[in-house]
Amino acid sequence: MVAIPLFRTLQQRRVAEDVVLLAPQLLLYVGLTLLPFLVALPMLFTNQTNFQHTHPDYIGFENFTRIFTDPIVSREYVDALRRTVVFTVLNYLMVYVFGLSLALLIYEVGFQSAFFTVVYLPMMASALAVGWMADMLFSQSTGTINLILKELGFQRLVDINQPSGVAIILPILTGWRWAGFNMAIFLSGLLSIPTETIEASIVDGASYWQRLVKIYFPQMVPSFIIATVFCLIGSFGIFDEAIALGALIGNQEARFLAILFFIYAFTGNKLALSVTMALQTFVPLVVVAVLLQRLQRRLEYH
Amino acid sequence: MPSGRTGRITSDTRGGWTASISRRKLLFKIVATWFMVIYSIATIFPFYVLFIRTFVSTKEASTLHLWLPPSQEIHLDAQIGNVAVFYNLDLRQVKKDLGIKGYVAPRDTLRDIAEKNNISLDTIRDYFNRYGIFTGWITLTSGSEFWSALVRSLIIIAVSLVGICFLSILTGSALAGLRRRYQTTIYNLYLLEMVIPPMLIVVPQFVMVQYLQGLLPGTDQPGLTRWVVQILTVILIFIKGGAFSTMVFTAAIGAIPREIEESSQIDGANRWQYIRHILMPLLKVPIATVVVILMPDFWNRFLEPYVYLDQANTTVLPLIQGFAGKYSTNFQVIFTGVFISLLPLVIVYLIFRRWFIRGVMAGAVKG
């Protein structure tokens, strides 16, 4: 039998094979991540209230301006945005308080696999479980840490149900959960620094602080960017922890942006508005994250 | 490690200056060791407290318990209604277990019940003492609810992991090297997946999936079709998040010398045979990396199972969260649920900790 020359060159044949190999995952990815945006596009200009509401009216750009014009929506949005931004800033701080300092410690002391195992352990707990742990440890009357503090004679207790309690405790516990992950990112950045430069700086008598600022940090910029991107996306989308704190059953203090969008879409009869607000909020964030990713890849290649 | 190197440099010189350096190094070592010990204790503490709290009954919740509470004797003068609420008992089940035929008034004390039904007080006492500190564990593990949720979780995780590894290896083998323009474009498209917050797509995705499911007959009422379609939806959504696995496999396959593929071509192997018989056996370490990073991620994913699965047909985490509504005042049951939800993964993690550490460090390099 004579093979029919379907492809004129080997090159063409290879490209055709690539297409077949790429297709399954790409179809799934495009179909379930990018296609929904196209499907949702017409919805942005309607007053669709819930998933059963199939013939909504066309209302133009009203959904886009409602954040500014509707006083109730506006207040709920601003409250949720404020909580989310505060959480993001504090959580970003925790990336360095936990991740960077642990990485520097392990780098100086030498790799201890037992310690690494313990630091990474909280990553095995779900975000939901961490939310429940926050409740278990810091609830006003039943929290274990509060009970210990009371036993020790302290009067002022931490309370997870107060605005300040959520704002302080949640970033600390989230930072604790992600400590191992961030530590691995920073540690891999540290390990990629050529040892000659470090040795030279030690011979020249540089102090530890000088080494940190002049040698470690400049060469760890890609690690900083990766950690920033992960923290930015993760904290702005905080959801599971808030669910555990009762955000869906009335805890106002745990109403972060993602919770607000979820309530609007699934129980609040504001489906189209929810999708519009999610786009307005998250798209700028995604653009920033993509630019950071680009920057990081460019730095890695030079 | 650099500390060893500093040691070598300073040990060449003598004098007071180096003596002060080595004293400082010793001090640093001591402080660092203490810090690591304290950090480890602080990290394990919440897990330990959670374990203890699974045995602390709700009425004891506002007293401090740092170790296992003593088992409690049941009060025979307690009213059965209160006991049932307290220990999450199903009264019908209690009647069946104790062989009671007639009506049991909620206000009857346990002593009353013993007298009315001719049951010895010891039998009653033994029956209820069993619940004591183990209420949470008995409530969770006695019904089939938890076990079937566990099975569904395991099915979803196993199929998703196999699927994502297989598809990402195919993708990686087509993208390896990133030489052509379409290769970089597709690679960047996958990177985008990493920075999209789940809440941004979950609502449009839900609208679309609902529409597609509506096209299938038999999905509108409970039954096998609905079960399969829902589980499959979650699996497909897990598999499509292929940014991390695609990065790992693209890098790993790109690092394999081209000569291997060329020689296999000369021997007459086609592309699929090369992937199946040469590439896949070479990819054991990257596969382990992907599995140890994605397995906890899949196990701990809450949003998608919560949205797409019926509450009667859900995975472990949404089930546990559902307890918060069902047993809203019973912390013991909720904390036991949370503890059980993280126990399997923690056990796997501790057994395979070397693989986890290696995988995490390899994954961190890929970023």
Helix, strand, coil % (nearest 5) of chain B? 75, 0, 25
Closest CB from B2, B33, B357 relative to A113: B357
Q: Which residues pair with B176 in a beta bridge?
A: none
Task: Indicate the pLDDT class of residue A163, thresholds 50, 70 and 90.
Answer: confident
Q: pLDDT band at residue B19, thresholds of 50, 70 and 90? A: low
SS (H, E, C) B74-93: CCCCCEHHHHHHHHCCCHHH
Contact, B95 vs B86, CB < 8 A?
no
Instruction: Note whether residue A267 is domain-resident.
Output: yes
A233 → closest Cβ in B6, B170, B197: B197
Residue B32 · residue A105 · CB < 8 Å: yes
- To the nearest whole angstrom, how far is the Cα of B134 from the nearest Cα of chain A? 18
Query: Would you say A219 and A196 are in contact if contact means Cβ atoms under 8 Å apart?
Result: no
State the Cα–Cα distance between residues A128 and A231, nearest whole angstrom: 17
Q: Do A144 and B64 touch (CB under 8 A)?
A: yes
Locate A38 and state its tokens. 């196209």
pLDDT band at B61 (very low <50, low <70, confident <90, very high): confident
pLDDT of B36 > 60? The answer is yes
Name the nearest CA neighbour of B198 among B44, B339, B92, B304.
B304
B198 interfacial to chain A (CB closer than 8 Å)? yes
**Do A119 and B324 make contact, defined as CB atoms within 8 angstroms?**
no
Q: Find the mean pLDDT for residues B229-258.
A: 91
Cα A77 from Cα A122, distance rounded (Å): 32
pLDDT in tens, A209-226: 888 888 899 989 989 999
Concatenate the DSSP letters of all residues of B204-252 into one string: HHHHHHHHHHHHSTT-SSSSHHHHHHHHHHHHHHHHH--HHHHHHHHHH
C-alpha span between B62 and B254 (Å, rounded): 58
Give me the phi and psi of A46, to 5 degrees please: -120, 175
- Residues of chain A in contact with residue B208, where contact means CB-CB under 8 angstroms, are 35-36, 39
At residue B14, the pLDDT reads 47
Residue B331 has pLDDT above 80, yes or no: yes
Quick check: B59 contacting A, CB < 8 Å? no
Say which CATH number the domain at A152 has: 1.10.3720.10
The pLDDT assigned to A302 comes to 60
Contact list in A for residue B349 (CB cut-off 8 A) is 120-121, 124
Verify whether the Cβ–Cβ distance A142 to B299 is below 8 Å: no
pLDDT score of B171:
93
Burial of A161 (0-12, 13-18, 19+ CB in 10 A): middle
Q: Which of A124, A147, A257 sits opposite B346 (nearest CB)?
A: A124
Distance CA A298, CA A296 (A): 5
- Nearest to B323, CA basis, from B133, B54, B97: B54
* B339: closest chain A residue by CA: A129
Q: Which two tokens stand for residue A89?
A: 């800033």
- Specify if A105 maps to a domain: yes
Question: Which member of B201, B299, B357 has the closest CB to residue A36?
Answer: B201
Which residue in this structure is represented by tokens 């690494």? A116
* pLDDT greater than 60 at residue B17: no
- Across the range A177-201, mean pLDDT stands at 91
Instruction: Confirm whether A201 is domain-assigned.
Output: yes
**Distance (Å, whole) CA A49 – CA A40:** 14
pLDDT for the residue numbered B2: 43
What ipTM, to 2 d.p.? 0.90
Residue A223 domain flag:
yes
3-state helix, strand, coil in chain A (%, to 5): 75, 0, 25
- Mean pLDDT of the B130-147 span: 81
Distance CA A125, CA B156 (A): 18
**What chain A residue is nearest to B321 in terms of C-alpha separation?**
A244
- With 0-12 / 13-18 / 19 or more C-beta atoms within 10 angstroms meaning exposed / middle / buried, residue B168 is buried
Neighbours of A181 (CB within 10 A): 22
- Provide the pLDDT for residue B20: 67
Structure tokens at A111: 């790799």
* Nearest Cα to Cα of residue B207 among B298, B305, B307: B307
Residue B360, SS3?
helix
Say how many Å lie between the first and final Cα of chain A, rounded: 52
Name the DSSP class of A46. B
pLDDT computed for residue B41 by the predictor: 96
pLDDT computed for residue A29 by the predictor: 92
pLDDT band at B5 (very low <50, low <70, confident <90, very high): very low
Whole-angstrom Cα distance, residue B51 to residue B342? 11
CA distance B38 to B29: 14
**Residue A181 is assigned to a structural domain of this protein:** yes
- Least CB–CB distance from A184: residue in B5, B195, B364: B364
Distance separating alpha carbons of residues A119 and A183, to the nearest angstrom: 9
How far is B318 from B330, CA to CA, in rounded Å?
17
Q: Which amino acid is at A231?
A: C
Assigned domain for A51 exists: no
- Given an 8 Å threshold on Cβ–Cβ distance, is A17 in contact with B174? yes
Q: What is the pLDDT of residue B309?
A: 92
* Residues in chain B within 8 Å Cβ distance of A236: 197
Range of the structural domain that residue A136 is part of: 70-301
Confidence band, pLDDT 50/70/90 cuts, at residue B366:
low
pLDDT digits (tens, 9 = 90+) for B335-350: 999 999 999 999 999 9
Give how many domains chain A has, as a whole number. 1
Q: Which residue has the tokens 């199903």?
A: B90
Does residue A58 lie within any of the structural domains? no
Query: Is B112 or A72 the better-scoring residue by pLDDT?
Result: A72
Tens-digit pLDDT profile for residues A81-96: 999 999 999 999 999 9
Does a structural domain hold residue A61?
Answer: no
Compute how many other C-beta atoms are within 10 angstroms of the C-beta atom of residue B254: 15
pLDDT of residue B223: 81
Q: Is B333 on the interface with A (CB under 8 A)?
A: no
Contact (CB, 8 A) for A173 and A130: yes
